[in-house]
Homo-oligomer: A and B are copies of this chain.
């Protein structure tokens, strides 16, 4: 068995038990001596390619700075039926708005979120903390030293982002549209 073939099997096995994204460096570390990051990258490429074949139920995706195996989104119905779950609840509009503010403006404080949304968002932030989609990242050195919030690794996984740079650019989310549509003469 060639090195890369063995490495591919190793990556698949490790990722399958990890249950979360694993960094290339971590795979290099467990692969043993003489294995370079380039070799691991090649093995991961092959693994991703193989997962794309018809009849496969898994996808290999790059999220949160690592690689993760997950089930194909099309198979959601079967997975849910098996687990006996109802449809997973989506995030509410309030949660999505708050998350968008934290994501694009981090680090950000609760008063800043309240100001931008025009409503008190304390309860929403608390729920996002519980769901581990945002985290506390220190305090802002202003009057009242409010807590600062940032998004988490779980946020990146939830939205399939490799890092924050992968967030859709503001222009992609209709800023020009806003200028034209909203602003009158």
Contact = CB atoms under 8 A, between A and B. Distances in A.
Interface string A127-166: 0011000001111010001011000000000011110001
A181 interface: no
Nearest to A123: B174
Interface residues of A, number: 57
Nearest to A145: B166
A9 B85 contact: no
B138 A160 contact: yes
The number of times this chain is found in the oligomer is 2
A75 B161 CA distance: 30
Interface of A: 1, 5-6, 8-14, 16-18, 22, 26, 29-32, 46, 50, 54-58, 69, 71-72, 75, 78-79, 81-83, 85-86, 126, 129-130, 136-139, 141, 145, 147-148, 159-162, 166, 168, 172-174
Q: What are the 7 tightest A-B residue pairs by CB atom distance, in nearest-first order? A: A138-B160, A13-B57, A12-B57, A126-B174, A9-B57, A13-B71, A30-B81
